[in-house]
Structure 1
Amino acid sequence: MYVSRLALDHYRSWERLVVDFTPGVNVLHGANGLGKTNIVEAVEVLSTGTSHRTSSSLPLIERGEAKATIRANVVDETGGGARVTTYEATIAARGANRARVDSGPSRYLRDIVGEVPSVAFTPDDQRLVSADPATRRTFLDQAGALLVPRYAQRLQQFTRIARQRAALLKQLGAREGSYDAAISGLEVWTGQFIDAGLELTHVRDGIVSRIAAPFAAIYARLASGRGEAGLAYAPSFAEIMDAPDGDAAYDPRPAIAAHFQRLYAGEVARGMNLIGPQRDDLTVTLDGVPAREFASNGEMWTMALALKMALYEAVAEDRGVKPVVILDDVFAQLDESRRRQILDFALDQEQVLVTVAATGDIPDIPASAQAREVSIIDVEELARAYAGGEAGSAR
């Protein structure tokens, strides 16, 4: 599977753009500010419904416009022959993001998430180990979008319920409206919060279980056996993992509801949900200790690469196709050893989209891989051809 053509309208710095890609390696080069990252980010958004650069949709839209459009022709050569499918995503400044497949009926963007699988490697990947839990939850959610049918719907439903419950907590704290009505509503929304939260927790636990073993194996290979990496799910709903004596019929909901009773005063005082999947984390360890506290910068980079490669392996196994690999300005951030590791990985994939400030930033492709097609795309030439968009949000 590979993207043969990408068209953008009012997407970040690009008022209009059409760019053709080939199977193999596609190198987009140009100075910072021309919008090369915006191009590969659009593929990521179409694939996962989210971007590694922002948590909301609004920054994806050209300033002053009401919507942005991403269209991609995707070639699937599995099963013999080549089938071309056109995917279209509309990112709205207001309202829901929409999508179409082959000019078919309009549906939600979340309904096509994962159909064009991709895995992105970015300069921020080290933060998967070193940053706060929100960064790792974003990774979990992107993994879920690629690995679990309807994951985006589950996440959206939970988020909607969590916001409603938080609004009632704030109302109670401010003593606005009817106290009895707010308490009654809180009980209803708390029950829904627990049900939706438990479902999301179960799904995330399964995701981590699928990538934990390949993550450890890939890290051992990349680090040449120096150190043992581990990955574990750290749910805020800890009770779900505490079934007594392995009781398969254990229902954690009463224990979680009791926990909410104990937290009631604090939640009302702060106007927020204090437990739930919105506070989940991934525990990344090196030789049994927390990596974010004890690992070196180089070890964190290697662990981040191993996480993304493990996700790639899981998606490829699950889908039976190789995801598009996006390497966004990573070569300038890595030492020679890690540059070689990620290049060796990328050269084995069906399609790779690489952004670099200059073609000299990418390591030499070894002679054994020279037969692979390498397409060089000058982003400065694209910018001149499609002049008219602001470059303020480009990188």
Structure 2
Amino acid sequence: MLTSLRLIDFRCFEELSLEFSECGGIFIGDNAQGKTSILEAICVLVRLQSPRAKTMRPLVRFEAAGLGLAGECWERDLTLRYGRGGAQLQIDGESLETQNLYLQQSGLIVWMGNEDVDLVRGSGGGRRHYLDFICSQLDSGYRRALSRYRRALKARNLLLKDRVSSDAELNAYAEVLIEHGDYLTKVRAQTLSLLEPLASTAQQEISGRDEKLELRFQSGSGGDMREALATTAEAERRQRQTLEGPHRDDVRITINGMPAADFASEGQQRTIALALKLAQGEAIQSIAGRVPVYLLDDIFGELDPDRRNALMKYLPKHAQKFITTTTIDWLQGEWADWEKYDVCEGRVKRLLAES
């Protein structure tokens, strides 16, 4: 799957080159040494998206003019260069004009980190981001629709703040919101219906209990963007913002019929977060027909031994997995033979297998 990775001026790394086996690898080191940045680089190279930054600029090493990422993924040579002129993308040496063309050929990713617990107890924005990351890997038109919706929403909200804006201008942007908003809502709802039974099964397997996990899509437009905008037109003028649409979508998560954010224990919330990400991987594989790469960022330290072992067992055996951890004391079984790398102050050293 991912057989090599090369970084230039990415986060704390001035330069780094790594080769990987089909299993993946385990990166070991204290906090703030660069472990997570390696997983982040894989995610950015494959999906042009960081789980820790909204734009590329924070990824550039301090005082560097830009960054470079490259690697062989799914038997394709991927290259990403970012600088003042923006991002330049290549696959097998051929320059690509759009990100969508790149993403259609690059690969699939599941990111799992400690911050995932916010999917359960955080705001709706995190759950929308979770759906967006999945939908963009399953539907080639989703990312474009999301970008156009966001641009139109921002422009329309600026007009609403201007008390002298005309109805014609507002209606022009409303048509863009209607076109793309209904599409986003439809894809999100369909995707969540696919995810729910998968997440429910994963929840029971990881927790070892008969816990009923339910996911319910809550549309921010009621499923009809045109009607929603017409109904809220006067209120929008008063509050000076677009009040309904996919930017208000959410997912209601319940465990045994109770809101998980309020009634689930810390352990249950972390298990639900794992179940959501495991469901993501299964959904991507079932629709795309390819096994995604799993990036697991320091999640094992927060799990008790039973949940940790259940998660290790549940992860797809044939999937390539990259793991960061501060210690490998918990490592056992087949995982003990994996390639391991020591990460310290931005330097990576492959550890020799014990004889």
TM-score by length of structure 1 reads 0.82
- Change in 2 beyond 3 A, CA 1:222/1:148: same
Residue aligning to 1:378: 342
Aligned residue identity for 1:46 = L
1:35·1:379 contact (CA, 8 Å) conserved in 2?
Answer: yes
Give per-residue Cα distances to partners, 1:332-356, cap 9 Å, x unaligned. 1211112112222347133110111
SS at match of 1:3: coil
Aligned residue identity for 2:99 = L
Following TM superposition, by how much is the alpha carbon of 1:228 offset from its aligned partner in structure 2, in angstroms?
Answer: 0.6
Give per-residue Cα distances to partners, 1:7-46, cap 9 Å, x unaligned. 1112111121111111114111122222111011111123
The match for 1:119 among 110, 117, 133 is: 110
Residue aligning to 2:199: 215
Following TM superposition, by how much is the alpha carbon of 1:6 offset from its aligned partner in structure 2, in angstroms?
Answer: 0.5
Residue aligning to 2:239: 267
| CA–CA distance in structure 1, aligned partners of residues 273 and 225 of structure 2 | 34
Residue aligning to 1:350: 319
1:34-73 aligned at under 5 Å gives the runs 34-73=33-72
Residue aligning to 2:6: 7
Aligned residue identity for 2:91 = V
Residue aligning to 2:353: none
| CA–CA distance in structure 2, aligned partners of residues 326 and 69 of structure 1 | 20
Are 2:87 and 1:103 aligned? no
SS at match of 1:70: strand
| CA–CA distance in structure 1, aligned partners of residues 85 and 152 of structure 2 | 20
1:307-386 aligned at under 5 Å gives the runs 307-346=276-315, 348-360=317-329, 363-366=330-333, 369=334, 374-380=338-344, 383=347
Aligned residue identity for 2:159 = L
2:33·2:344 contact (CA, 8 Å) conserved in 1?
Answer: yes
| CA–CA distance in structure 1, aligned partners of residues 35 and 187 of structure 2 | 34
1:25·1:373 contact (CA, 8 Å) conserved in 2?
Answer: no
| CA–CA distance in structure 1, aligned partners of residues 243 and 63 of structure 2 | 37
1:141-290 aligned at under 5 Å gives the runs 141-172=132-163, 179=164, 182-238=166-222, 240=223, 252-268=224-240, 272-290=241-259
1:40·1:328 contact (CA, 8 Å) conserved in 2?
Answer: yes
2:33·2:346 contact (CA, 8 Å) conserved in 1?
Answer: no
SS at match of 1:56: coil
2:88·2:95 contact (CA, 8 Å) conserved in 1?
Answer: no
SS at match of 2:50: coil
Moved more, 139-148 or 342-351: 342-351
Are 2:305 and 1:305 aligned? no
| CA–CA distance in structure 1, aligned partners of residues 151 and 286 of structure 2 | 32
Aligned residue identity for 2:265 = S
Give per-residue Cα distances to partners, 1:129-172, cap 9 Å, x unaligned. 01111111111111112211122111111111111111211222
- Change in 2 beyond 3 A, CA 1:254/1:6: closer
Residue aligning to 1:135: 126
1:61·1:93 contact (CA, 8 Å) conserved in 2?
Answer: no
2:278·2:315 contact (CA, 8 Å) conserved in 1?
Answer: no
| CA–CA distance in structure 1, aligned partners of residues 225 and 117 of structure 2 | 36
1:58·1:93 contact (CA, 8 Å) conserved in 2?
Answer: no
Following TM superposition, by how much is the alpha carbon of 1:254 offset from its aligned partner in structure 2, in angstroms?
Answer: 4.5
Aligned residue identity for 1:100 = Q
2:13·2:346 contact (CA, 8 Å) conserved in 1?
Answer: no
Corresponding residue pairs, total = 348
| CA–CA distance in structure 2, aligned partners of residues 275 and 25 of structure 1 | 43
- Change in 2 beyond 3 A, CA 1:45/1:266: farther
Moved more, 45-54 or 12-21: 45-54
2:120·2:272 contact (CA, 8 Å) conserved in 1?
Answer: yes
Following TM superposition, by how much is the alpha carbon of 1:205 offset from its aligned partner in structure 2, in angstroms?
Answer: 1.0
Where relative contact order (Cα < 8 A, 6+ residues apart) is larger, the structure is 1
Following TM superposition, by how much is the alpha carbon of 1:306 offset from its aligned partner in structure 2, in angstroms?
Answer: 0.7
Unaligned runs of 5+ in 2: 350-355
- Change in 2 beyond 3 A, CA 1:299/1:185: same
- Change in 2 beyond 3 A, CA 1:254/1:74: closer
2:192·2:217 contact (CA, 8 Å) conserved in 1?
Answer: yes
- Change in 2 beyond 3 A, CA 1:365/1:110: farther
| CA–CA distance in structure 2, aligned partners of residues 267 and 381 of structure 1 | 49
Give per-residue Cα distances to partners, 1:41-82, cap 9 Å, x unaligned. 11112333322222333211223334322211114xxxxxxx
Q: Percent identity?
A: 25
Unaligned runs of 5+ in 1: 76-83, 173-178, 241-251, 386-395
| CA–CA distance in structure 2, aligned partners of residues 311 and 214 of structure 1 | 8
SS at match of 2:2: strand
Moved more, 22-31 or 133-142: 22-31
Aligned residue identity for 2:326 = A
2:177·2:225 contact (CA, 8 Å) conserved in 1?
Answer: no
